[in-house]
């Protein structure tokens, strides 16, 4: 799932490439999205790049290439340009929604004690989550900002006890701490990797970490 700002930036880059063949500058992107600094553009581009929507062309200044556009994400493709529909659902049909338990706050930084209070719920379009059991968590901290996950975001999690190498997971450490990190297997050890250079990768024995779910999307209020 892309955030609204990621959609807007992807549209802007794609439109500029279609019309001029040259990707816009960071200042032009900042102005187009009404952001105050270029650091926000850097984060959005990193998020789009990690999700496979754009790539940076080597040895060329400010060169970006749009590699794909989202489909079946509540928007329409007109020509080769995405026209997002943020008013709810796909065009011509009301969206179906599911209510997921909102289990509390999860640390994207220093791990916090696991929360199991499911008194709250969050409404999510069914198309975002598919089959299986899911739940939502509110992000606290900034260690995953380079993956496009910010403090206050609501992350959507598919319940599972295993995940592929490189997936962003909810990890339970020593049955008492929970954190949102990228999973890396290093031999017999498990590394929980931040997406922010200010945070160190933490490495644990395999018996100390249990996967509680895998990130499949996020929601953000503006």
Catalytic residue list: 143, 181
CA–CA dist 73, 7 (Å, integer): 10
Is the CB of residue 211 less than 8 Å from the CB of residue 183? yes
CA–CA dist 29, 48 (Å, integer): 14
DSSP secondary structure code for residue 108 in this structure: S
CA–CA dist 49, 110 (Å, integer): 26
Q: How many CB atoms neighbour CB 165 within 10 A?
A: 10
Query: Encoding tokens for residue 111?
Result: 């791990």
């Amino acid at each position: 799932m892309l955030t609204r700002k990621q959609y807007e930036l992807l549209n802007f880059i794609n439109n500029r490439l279609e019309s001029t063949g040259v990707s816009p500058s960071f200042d032009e992107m900042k102005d187009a999205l009404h952001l105050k600094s270029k650091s926000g553009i850097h984060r959005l581009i990193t998020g789009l790049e990690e999700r496979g929507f754009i790539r940076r062309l080597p040895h060329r200044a400010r060169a970006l290439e749009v590699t794909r556009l989202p489909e079946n994400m509540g928007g329409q493709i007109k020509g080769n340009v995405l026209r997002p529909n943020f008013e709810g659902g796909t065009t011509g049909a009301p969206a179906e929604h599911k209510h997921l338990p909102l289990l509390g706050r999860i640390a994207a930084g220093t791990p916090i004690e696991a929360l199991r209070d499911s008194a709250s719920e969050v409404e999510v379009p069914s198309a975002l989550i598919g089959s299986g059991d899911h739940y939502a968590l509110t992000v606290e901290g900034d260690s995953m900002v380079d993956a496009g996950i910010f403090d206050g975001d609501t992350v959507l999690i598919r319940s599972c006890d295993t995940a592929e190498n490189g997936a962003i997971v909810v990890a339970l450490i020593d049955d008492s701490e929970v954190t949102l990190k990228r999973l890396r297997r290093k031999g017999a050890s498990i590394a929980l990797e931040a997406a922010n250079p200010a945070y160190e990768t933490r490495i644990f024995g395999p018996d100390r970490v249990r996967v509680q779910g895998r990130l499949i999307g996020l929601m953000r209020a503006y």
